[in-house]
Amino acid sequence: MTRIIDGKAVAEDVAATVKRETAALAMRDGMAPGLAVILVGEDPASQVYVASKSRKAKECGFHSVQHTLPADTPQADLVALVERLNADPAIHGILVQLPLPAHIDALAVIETISPDKDVDGLTYVNVGRLGAGAPQKAFVPCTPAGSMLLIERVRGRDLSGLNAVVVGRSNLVGKPVAQLLLAADATVTIAHSRTKDLPALCRTADILVAAVGRPEMIRGDWVKEGATVIDVGINRIPAPEKGEGQGGKKTRLVGDVAFAEASARAGAITPVPGGVGPMTIAMLMANTLVSACRAAGVEPPRF
């Protein structure tokens, strides 16, 4: 029987560890992990993400700070704020919510963040640490980190002898998750839109990670019997069967994998929603706690 991987339950387990270790840090060292989130402009999706991150940080017992700046904020002012947060010993994690307004060079701003406070794992230093095979010294981007944790819950930490195929080569998901799989000794192939005979390649995968942003692109007959399938995609598509709603036709969320088809063949699979999605914020909390532990000179927990 196919195992449906419950990302919400794993995320709650991660959050429980974060809360417990945060309380221990407060008792032992009198400090709380500090997370600063910066939002520039009024993008509705970004506002929702930032609110949920700030809410979870407070639930975990963090010192949570949110800076909301106007959309026309000059880049120099944003950089100056990041530099002040770099110098603030009460802040252990800095997150600049993307996307930024068009007049701001997002890469230049990200590179201003201290690598030791880059809990999103986007600076070149952290990318380099991960690429050099030292994920334990890097901050790993939260969605790949969460995806890897879900894989470990099914397959264990040692993936020796297993073939992994990652469909998608983005800097945010595809490349980092491939590096994590390599570090766990899997044999890894990164596939993309120009890969020859993608269905045949996917059928070789003991671990199949879909991160392409195309609704239900990975069909059931692309999946090897017994494979572990991690669906990173979140796509909103029309749902005419739901009828009309306020503001027009109703929609539903689907992943990059045709779930019903794939779950007939997979050994384990993440649903959408409820799979990888909940892990992203949980791993942000985990990264911030790790940063605080390093700052306090104590051994951080392993998730």
What does the radius of gyration of the chain's CA atoms come to, in whole angstroms? 20
Dihedral sign (CA 65, 71, 72, 78): positive
Count how many Cα atoms sit within 13 Å of the Cα of residue 260 in the half-sphere of its side chain: 1
Q: How far apart are CA 58 and CA 55, in angstroms?
A: 5
Residue 197 falls in the annotated catalytic set: no
Q: Under DSSP, is residue 235 helix (H, G, I), strand (E, B) or coil?
A: strand
Provide the 10 A C-beta neighbour count for residue 240: 9
Q: How far apart are CA 77 and CA 52, in angstroms?
A: 25
Q: What are 8's two structure tokens?
A: 């919400």
Match 């609110």 to its residue by tokens.
Answer: 51
Count how many Cα atoms sit within 13 Å of the Cα of residue 242 in the half-sphere of its side chain: 11
Q: Which of 97, 179, 231, 256 is catalytic?
A: 97
Indicate the DSSP class of residue 210: E
CB contact at 8 A, 68 and 97: no
Question: What are residue 37's DSSP bridge partners?
Answer: 66, 95
Residue 66 falls in the annotated catalytic set: no
Q: Which of 56, 117, 120, 256 is catalytic?
A: 120
Furthest-apart CA atoms within the chain: distance in Å: 57
Residue 250 falls in the annotated catalytic set: no
| Beta carbons within 8 Å of 152's beta carbon, 6+ residues apart | 184
CB contact at 8 A, 282 and 14: yes
Catalytic residue positions, numbered: 53, 97, 120
